[in-house]
Chains A and B, each alone.
Chain A
Amino acid sequence: MIARNFPLLTIMILLICSFIMPIVKEAKTFKKLSIISMGASVVLNISTLIYIKYDGSFFYRVGHWDAPWGIELHIGMIEIIIGILFTLVASLVIWYSFYSVDTEIPKEKIRFYYLLINILIASLLGIVYSNDLFNSFVFIEVSTLASCGIVVIKDKKENIKATLKYLILSILGSGLFLMGIAFIYSITGNLNMTFIHNELAEIYIKYQNTILISLALFTVGLGVKSAMFPLHIWLPDAHSNAPSTSSALLSALVLKAFVFMLIKILLRVFSLEIVIQYRVLDLLLILGSIGMIFGSVLAIMQKNIKRVIAYSSVAQMGYIFYGIGLGNSLGLTISIFHIISHALTKSTLFLAVGSMMEQTGKNLSDLKGIGKEMPVTLGIFTIGAFSMVGIPILPGFISKWYFALATIDASKLIYLGVILLSSLLNAVYYFPIIINGYFGEENLKGKVFMSKNKPVKELLPVLILTVGIILVGIFNKGIINAINKSLI
């Protein structure tokens, strides 16, 4: 029974630790505080997972107030898997950051960096767990500010510019989300998702336009925040200018929380039967497909390595929207699976690239011959890239395979071409990095073997992430079944 309290407890632990950090003087102590609180959240989440496995999903009343007056958390299999994913990736990123933070962030800001990460992860968990629309909105606002914080922390001119862009668009997204809540509240009189859902089932025929408007507002609002294709313009700047640990968090986790929120709204607030009657899903399908192609095309045109990976995120988010847009349960399941696989892969890629950039430069041309100097790091990058391209057994392949099957299920055969074209395009921008890194006479000239390699302890967190990628690929069946069961 006590495990029911754990989800709330994780959020509280993270928040309280972040509030303590400013008081602590020693730099060592707040770093410890940060990793310990994050590690504790992982453990708590895993024990909740075990609880849910035996006792099923549950609603948790915050402060023992019954819904609709009190706030509820809904913890199911999917939520807890994503919770574990978020805390696990965050702890590994924090661990990695201990070795890189001094070079990337001004000394006096480091304290705030860890504070912001804790707040960010707490608010993301809040978005994932909450069963209350307005409560989610609050968490969304908190996460927006925190994620802007971890971008601007470098305190350089371009960071501030990128952050302003991010902040303005992000707040626009939250604003749209809030308006969506307002519309839905005006016809149902509720903020709790379960209650809205029940109410809508009865009245949706009367208020078709209102529902369409609020559905559109939610989709576009969250679309801005999770980089749906034409609304992605803030992402490359923000992700490429941020410190690489921040980029890893932003790309791997922050985007995913919002898209997961969208899935929750579509499924749990409106229910798929209602959503299918509007063209919103088609919009998602088309924008997702365009994102899959153009995200990659734009990535090919980039010179800066981090921008390449940032644009690749746009393409990968396209897959997730695409899966939602298919409108069948397999599509949704695979979208959630892709959230997991992409979160692991993208954080690995950003961290690997971050450590390569520390040694060389930020342009693609600087990375030539890096495979001789940093073979292990580029090896890790290679595995991540292979997953993106879709080499079998790695999770990227599994997602693509099931996306294709879901497409056939939805009898939209023409979209198969989009999936395959996009995976080919992925190869076009990832392979040259690897090839120029490992091979080529001119590239390798004057490079000394292992000269820039990092010590094992610094690479360990990234290695663990890489192992995670492979494990997700191998155990895909269990994960997909768990998601699918919990979805219905």
Chain B
Amino acid sequence: MRGISILFPLFFPIITSLAFGTIKFKSKRARNIYLTSTIIINFLFVINVSMTNASIDFHLFKVNDFLDIYFKIDKIGILFSLLASCLWIFTTFYSIEYMSHERKEKRFFIFFILTLGITVGIAFSGNLFTLYIFYELLTLATFPLVIHAGSREALESGKKYLVYSFTGATFVLLGMILLFSISNNMTFIEYGVLTDLNSINQNLILVIYMILFLGFGVKAALVPFHSWLPSAMVAPTPVSSLLHAVAVVKSGIFAIIRITYFIFGSDVINKVQGDFYISFLVITTILLGSLLALHQENLKKRLAYSTVSQLGYILLGLVMINDNALTGGLLHLVNHAVIKIILFFCVGAIYFMTGKKTISEIKGIGKQMPITMGCFSIAAISLIGIPPTNGFVSKWYLAIGGLRADRVLFSVILLLSALLTAAYILPIVITAFFQGEKVAKEDHIEPPLRMLIPIILLTGIVIALGLFPNFVLNFIESITDSIV
């Protein structure tokens, strides 16, 4: 039963989160130790699973041909689970400090840990049905986090989140039913499950692909299904950063990778020209996200629209169906996660220390919080794609992919969007550093260390990945080689 080791990183957080609900901790310190050790142990579990070279799989239970809860480890699953569980550690430290000012910490941490288990479940799902179940569970588990404040506005946003997510899931379900009726197999296999192409109506395949893409696209904030993401910014900052820049939206992306390369296969998508129709939506997503971000006054909302646009980059990398572009897409999936989490952490730190939320309020904040805003600036530079940061590397590969696919238009759009990115992110940096009064060193108000250290470490990662991208790049190239 070697396969059972898959279940540890999945169910350990789920069990500990439920236990967390029942345990009464003597002190805050004990609680914090419990939380951090849970997350770190789970990280070790994930590493343990990924270290084994042989492919592991495990049928949890099989009720039917389709109702088969099945987990499988492959490289892309490892990539996603490592990314999630690694960033979760930083967020845990950050949110222990941040959440001490908000109420209902217990409820927050229950669902916070639960979501980790579910995200790992998405990473390790071995077939579309298992993925779908965890995808639905993710919606249900993150919902309480989104409406954490409990205010009327939060409830409204939460409702919007649910409606969008379930509409998306319904599309997915429709696609799954149709897919199952033609293929009878929903296991993720490299190059797809549709082997006998000639006997199947190609238009039907295209329709199913579109339905699934749009369905998962809701979580991936594909325009025109993106508007839940800015609304969900009413959530506390750790939630926004982790869930809405990393876990939830990236789960949508991850699911799209799964259906594109592991259910349909790159050849089939090329043949039915699925990429052609999708790319229009993706280009709209990139440009519209950037344009909408330009005039957001609220910092978190501006970052949210920026996420919409950046997710478009990743999707563009996926739908070009060539290995350079896919490498760029996957690389950007990792890089954007790190960049966006820094940006959110910084904005959260500003709010935590000063209560300021909008751009006009933060004049001169860079002089009060030089380290925080310094990190913010580095992340901003990386978001635009200026070397020596990691954003540059992924955009480079995306642009090369566009040229290789003979689609110069895509590369032009990438450059145009980089300009727009600069236009919406740099004003924050400029307002923070070059306006307002001079501040004496004694008046610096850097956030507490538990918040500051994650920010600094993550910024280090941004630069390290920019200077030495090979470590991640080689891993990603070994993924793309086997599926394109």
* B141-162 at interface with A (beta carbon < 8 Å): 143-144, 147, 149-152, 155, 158-159, 162
A416 at the interface (CB under 8 A from B): yes
A392 at the interface (CB under 8 A from B): yes
> Are A416's CB and B174's CB within 8 A?
yes
Q: Roughly how many angstroms separate A446 CA and B48 CA in the complex, as a whole number? A: 48
Q: Roughly how many angstroms separate A435 CA and B152 CA in the complex, as a whole number? A: 12
> Are B66's CB and A441's CB within 8 A?
no
Smallest CB separation, B131 vs chain A (Å): 11
Q: Roughly how many angstroms separate A400 CA and B173 CA in the complex, as a whole number? A: 10
Smallest CB separation, B260 vs chain A (Å): 22
A391 at the interface (CB under 8 A from B): yes
Q: Roughly how many angstroms separate A438 CA and B140 CA in the complex, as a whole number? A: 13
Q: Roughly how many angstroms separate A475 CA and B64 CA in the complex, as a whole number? A: 9
Smallest CB separation, A310 vs chain B (Å): 23
A108 at the interface (CB under 8 A from B): no
> Are B63's CB and A442's CB within 8 A?
no
A423 at the interface (CB under 8 A from B): yes
Q: Mark A215-248, 1 if CB is under 8 A from B, else 0.
A: 0000000000000000000000000000000000
Measured CB to CB, the nearest residue on chain B to A398 is B67
Smallest CB separation, B194 vs chain A (Å): 17
Q: Name the one of A390, A404, A428, A477 contacting B63, with C-beta atoms under 8 angstroms.
A: A477
Q: Mark B43-80, 1 if CB is under 8 A from A, else 0.
A: 00000000000000000010110110000000000000
Q: Which of B63, B177, B180 has the most CB of A within 10 A?
A: B177
Quick one: given A391-B136, A420-B170, A439-B155, are A401 and B147 in contact (CB under 8 Å)? no
List, in ascending order, chain A residues with CB within 8 A of B149's CB.
441
Measured CB to CB, the nearest residue on chain B to A445 is B150
List, in ascending order, chain A residues with CB within 8 A of B174's CB.
404, 416-417, 420
Total contacting residues, chain A, CB less than 8 A:
30
> Are A441's CB and B150's CB within 8 A?
yes
Quick one: given A404-B177, A405-B180, A439-B147, are A476 and B67 in contact (CB under 8 Å)? yes
Q: Roughly how many angstroms separate A424 CA and B144 CA in the complex, as a whole number? A: 20
Q: Roughly how many angstroms separate A440 CA and B153 CA in the complex, as a whole number? A: 10
Q: Roughly how many angstroms separate A12 CA and B66 CA in the complex, as a whole number? A: 43
Q: Mostly helix, strand, loop or mixed at chain B's interface?
A: helix
Quick one: given A440-B147, A441-B150, are A424 and B133 in contact (CB under 8 Å)? no
List, in ascending order, chain A residues with CB within 8 A of B166's CB.
424, 427
B167 at the interface (CB under 8 A from A): yes
List, in ascending order, chain B residues with CB within 8 A of A404's CB.
174, 177
A474 at the interface (CB under 8 A from B): yes
Q: Name the one of B132, B144, B159 contacting A392, with C-beta atoms under 8 angstroms.
A: B132
> Are B181's CB and A405's CB within 8 A?
yes
B178 at the interface (CB under 8 A from A): yes
List, in ascending order, chain B residues with CB within 8 A of A405's CB.
177, 180-181
List, in ascending order, chain B residues with CB within 8 A of A474's CB.
61, 63
Smallest CB separation, A426 vs chain B (Å): 10
> Are A435's CB and B63's CB within 8 A?
no
Q: Roughly how many angstroms separate A475 CA and B158 CA in the complex, as a whole number? A: 34
Measured CB to CB, the nearest residue on chain A to B151 is A441
Q: Roughly how many angstroms separate A476 CA and B66 CA in the complex, as a whole number? A: 12
> Are A408's CB and B133's CB within 8 A?
no
* A383-428 at interface with B (beta carbon < 8 Å): 390-393, 398, 400-401, 404-405, 408, 416-417, 420, 423-424, 427-428
Measured CB to CB, the nearest residue on chain B to A404 is B177
Measured CB to CB, the nearest residue on chain B to A480 is B64
Measured CB to CB, the nearest residue on chain A to B63 is A477
Smallest CB separation, A425 vs chain B (Å): 10
Q: Mark A54-67, 1 if CB is under 8 A from B, else 0.
A: 00000000000000
Q: Name the one of A398, A408, A427, A441 contacting B181, with C-beta atoms under 8 angstroms.
A: A408
Smallest CB separation, A99 vs chain B (Å): 28
> Are A423's CB and B132's CB within 8 A?
no
Smallest CB separation, B410 vs chain A (Å): 34
List, in ascending order, chain B residues with CB within 8 A of A417's CB.
174
> Are B177's CB and A392's CB within 8 A?
no
Q: Roughly how many angstroms separate A214 CA and B396 CA in the complex, as a whole number? A: 74
* B179-238 at interface with A (beta carbon < 8 Å): 180-181
A431 at the interface (CB under 8 A from B): yes
A275 at the interface (CB under 8 A from B): no
A36 at the interface (CB under 8 A from B): no
Quick one: given A420-B174, A424-B170, are A444 and B136 in contact (CB under 8 Å)? no
List, in ascending order, chain A residues with CB within 8 A of B155's CB.
435, 439-440
Smallest CB separation, A445 vs chain B (Å): 10
Q: Roughly how many angstroms separate A400 CA and B67 CA in the complex, as a whole number? A: 13
> Are A393's CB and B133's CB within 8 A?
yes
Q: Roughly how many angstroms separate A404 CA and B178 CA in the complex, as a whole number? A: 9
Q: Roughly how many angstroms separate A416 CA and B150 CA in the complex, as a whole number? A: 37
Measured CB to CB, the nearest residue on chain A to B129 is A392
> Are B158's CB and A435's CB within 8 A?
yes
Smallest CB separation, B166 vs chain A (Å): 5
Q: Roughly how many angstroms separate A440 CA and B61 CA in the complex, as a whole number? A: 36
Shortest Cβ-Cβ A-B pairs, 6 listed = A441-B150, A404-B177, A408-B181, A392-B133, A420-B170, A477-B64
Enumerate chain A interface residues (CB-CB to B < 8 A): 390-393, 398, 400-401, 404-405, 408, 416-417, 420, 423-424, 427-428, 431-432, 435, 438-442, 444, 474-477
CB-defined A-B contacts under 8 Å, sample of 28 = A390-B173, A391-B136, A392-B133, A393-B63, A398-B67, A400-B173, A401-B177, A404-B174, A405-B181, A408-B181, A416-B177, A416-B178, A424-B166, A424-B167, A427-B162, A427-B166, A431-B162, A435-B147, A435-B155, A438-B144, A439-B147, A439-B158, A440-B150, A441-B149, A442-B150, A474-B61, A476-B67, A477-B67
